[in-house]
Structure 1
Amino acid sequence: MKFNFKHLSLIPLTLVIALGSPVSAITTVKTPLMQAQADNSKLEAAIQLYEQGLEQYKQKQFSAALASFTQVLEMMRKLGYSKGEMLTLYRLAMIYEDLQDYPQAQTAYEKALVISRKLNDRFNEASYLDYLGVVYRQQKNYAQAVDYHQQSLALFRQLKSPRSEAIVLRNLGVAYLRQEGYEKALNSFQTALKLENSLSQPRSKAVTYYMIGLTYSYLNRQQQAMDSYQEALSLFRQVGDEEATQQTLRQIREVQQALSRVG
């Protein structure tokens, strides 16, 4: 079982006009009324298609969602609606990730990152930096992944967003694990856990405990691994996550076997 750390999620699911500019802001004062109405109508059509793409994505109809969002992207660009273009690129990147087309996902996130910086949208900038870190990790470029996660982490700390910070710390920890930097990974996960102790996110906290247990196992510190897995198990049961519960029980059995060999 793989935990999806990244999309817990840093960015909202729906495209809301109020997030960027109201419809009226797309036209200028000098724009004729009929042109303004036409632009508004086009934006409404783009948003409806965006929502259709979201529904297709939720149903795992990735090819259909890709076609919808590709069309939305062109519509947003023609309208000059940068916020909509940015969020559509984000959706396209997510689909490419699901299709395991990581170079395309990287390109889409990079374009979204450029727009977020032009808009001075620091929250989304931090999010795209983190997502790029995940994509680089999927391509086994761990050094680049660490760099992007660290950039994201610094921004979220400036923004005082502890929940997002914890998510990025977990992603950073996973990148360190892939590099076999176990002590650095452990530090990242433990720092995330400290943040989560003040948040009401039991499943997220359970995932962090699980990753701490996994890291202790790599370090051959089996009793500490057991303690962490037990904490994760209790929380997974609390939130009713049966798949995660069974995965954690399997890890506990492996640790028990390791302890019995030592004992």
Structure 2
Amino acid sequence: MLQRLIAIATVATLFSSSLTLAESKDPNQADKFPPSPLEITTPDPLVPRSPKDKQPLTLEEQQRLEIALDELNQQAAAKLQAGDQVTAFEIWNRELRLRHFLGSIAEVQALSRVGEIAWNQNNPQEVQYITQRLQVIQKQALPAKKSAQKGVDLELLRSLGVAYQKVRSPKPALEVYNQVLATVRQQQDAVAEVETLNTIGGLHLSWFDYPQAASTYEQLLAFATSRGDRLNEVAYLKQLADIYDKTEQPQQAINVQNKLAQIYLSENNFTAIPELKFAIASNYESLAKKNPTLLQDAFENYQEAYTTAWQLQQYVRAGEALQKLIALYRSQGQIDEALQASQILVEIEEQAVNYYGLMEAYDKIGQLYLERKEYPQALTAFQKGLELAQQLKHQETYFTQQIQKLSKTNF
């Protein structure tokens, strides 16, 4: 993940630098940074008028032009397939210039398509041209005043949002989607509001902006809860739990995980409870490092994870919960409780036919008996562990050494 973040940051910096230089008004830079090929206004044989002519094309002219532009797209794709990227993008740039005559939405959709190709072909200059053109269209599409929502073209804004995502420009994409959100809220379009919030949340997540993602999914959660939408309520709670885990916010994670547990229990959906209780216990264990009084909550939730998993015959999860309990008991000096849990762990690993786990359980028992200086019991546990180690051809030397040490002890 770190490498991906570095790569994204590097590319974003390069694009940002390119945009800054390209927008320079210094005439001395004109030759070094030529104008975008998408802004060229030279008349084209495919269009019987100047781009400055504001008179729209007739329906027949539009149909002819659309067919011709589709052919240009195919020609460009063939050139790229043949390995001639330069010519391919020259053709695509011509197509994109002329798409303007078919309306903003058609142009943005074409920019989106070619922009994704440019990104995948690692062509930052072309991505820059397309991003600049999208920004021009965005500026023209947004109303001068925030209150003028009625004049907003939602279809165009959504197309812009998709296009920005294709060229990996999250900031302008979010600007566009926030404009969409403000508009659909004013229109009281609940379905569109949820759809837009989901898009915004996913965009924040894709760029690892977890705080903003959490804020968005909290809004979605409140929306689903208020409408009794249990299916989406569960989905948003899961998403929030994952975000809070990734951002190491154990208390926030516990809050949403407990809500999930309540929902599962109310619906008699016990299958997911062991994993959920295990996660809650783990978060309490993290909090207990600063507040030891919360360690009891970790104990209780690990115990619930173990007992529920055992009842559901989820032996692997039951074993994992018991291992956590054993470690906690041992850290608190509760050796008797740790031994009892270890004996149960042996039964669970036998049920799960997990010989590696069984071997490790005998090792834990041996170590616990050593702490109590009950050497005969420790020796028995290590001998059972050795038998399994020999079958598995794993850790034989370790168990042999433990047995040799005990054999020299006068007990």
TM-score tier by shorter-chain length is 0.5 to 0.7
| Among 215, 233, 244, the residue aligned to 1:82 | 233
Q: Deviations over 1:102-125 (max 9, x none)?
A: xx42x1332123321342355344
Q: Aligned in 2, Cα 1:82/1:254: closer, same or farther, shift over 3 Å?
A: same
Offset at 1:175?
A: 1.5
| Among 330, 333, 339, the residue aligned to 1:186 | 339
Secondary structure in structure 2 of the residue aligned to 1:120? helix
Offset at 1:174?
A: 1.6
2:254 is matched with which residue? 110
1:10 is matched with which residue? none
1:162 is matched with which residue? 315
Offset at 1:173?
A: 1.6
Q: Aligned in 2, Cα 1:204/1:217: closer, same or farther, shift over 3 Å?
A: same
1:70 is matched with which residue? 211
Higher relative contact order (CA 8 A, sep 6+): 1
Q: Aligned in 2, Cα 1:69/1:234: closer, same or farther, shift over 3 Å?
A: farther
Alpha-carbon distance in 2 for matches of 1:179, 1:231: 31
**Contact 1:206/1:235 (8 A) holds in 2:** no
Offset at 1:83?
A: 2.6
2:407 is matched with which residue? 259
Offset at 1:188?
A: 0.9
Alpha-carbon distance in 1 for matches of 2:392, 2:242: 29
Alpha-carbon distance in 1 for matches of 2:244, 2:386: 36
**Contact 2:278/2:305 (8 A) holds in 1:** yes
Q: Aligned in 2, Cα 1:213/1:119: closer, same or farther, shift over 3 Å?
A: same
Q: Is it true that 1:175 corresponds to 2:305 in the alignment?
A: no
Alpha-carbon distance in 2 for matches of 1:154, 1:85: 27
1:153 is matched with which residue? 306
**Contact 1:217/1:255 (8 A) holds in 2:** no
Q: Aligned in 2, Cα 1:234/1:207: closer, same or farther, shift over 3 Å?
A: same
Supply the RMSD in Å over aligned alpha carbons.
Answer: 3.9
Give the greater-gyration-radius structure (CA): 2
Q: Give the letter for the 2:233 counterpart.
A: S
| Among 213, 223, 233, the residue aligned to 2:379 | 223
**Contact 1:133/1:144 (8 A) holds in 2:** yes
- TM-score with structure 2 setting the length: 0.40
Q: Aligned in 2, Cα 1:118/1:144: closer, same or farther, shift over 3 Å?
A: closer
**Contact 1:213/1:227 (8 A) holds in 2:** no
Alpha-carbon distance in 2 for matches of 1:177, 1:89: 33
Gaps of 5+ in 2: 1-184, 222-231
Q: Aligned in 2, Cα 1:217/1:46: closer, same or farther, shift over 3 Å?
A: farther
**Contact 1:112/1:128 (8 A) holds in 2:** no
| Among 365, 385, 389, the residue aligned to 1:212 | 365
Alpha-carbon distance in 1 for matches of 2:406, 2:262: 53
Secondary structure in structure 1 of the residue aligned to 2:408? helix
Q: Aligned in 2, Cα 1:252/1:78: closer, same or farther, shift over 3 Å?
A: farther
Gaps of 5+ in 1: 1-30, 54-66, 98-103, 239-244
Q: Aligned in 2, Cα 1:249/1:74: closer, same or farther, shift over 3 Å?
A: farther
Secondary structure in structure 1 of the residue aligned to 2:261? helix
| Among 172, 195, 199, the residue aligned to 1:40 | 195
Alpha-carbon distance in 1 for matches of 2:233, 2:348: 33
**Contact 2:325/2:341 (8 A) holds in 1:** yes
Secondary structure in structure 1 of the residue aligned to 2:338? helix
1:6-155 → structure 2 map (5 Å cutoff): 36=191, 39-40=194-195, 42-43=197-198, 46-47=201-202, 50=205, 67-80=208-221, 81-92=232-243, 94-95=245-246, 104-105=249-250, 107-120=251-264, 122=270, 123-124=272-273, 125-132=276-283, 134-135=285-286, 138=289, 142-155=295-308
Q: Aligned in 2, Cα 1:95/1:35: closer, same or farther, shift over 3 Å?
A: closer
Q: Aligned in 2, Cα 1:48/1:203: closer, same or farther, shift over 3 Å?
A: farther
Q: Aligned in 2, Cα 1:228/1:92: closer, same or farther, shift over 3 Å?
A: farther
Number of residues paired by the alignment?
Answer: 204
Higher mean C-alpha deviation, range 157-166 or range 132-141: 132-141
Secondary structure in structure 2 of the residue aligned to 1:180? coil
Q: Aligned in 2, Cα 1:95/1:259: closer, same or farther, shift over 3 Å?
A: farther
Q: Aligned in 2, Cα 1:143/1:130: closer, same or farther, shift over 3 Å?
A: closer
**Contact 2:280/2:298 (8 A) holds in 1:** no
Identity %: 12
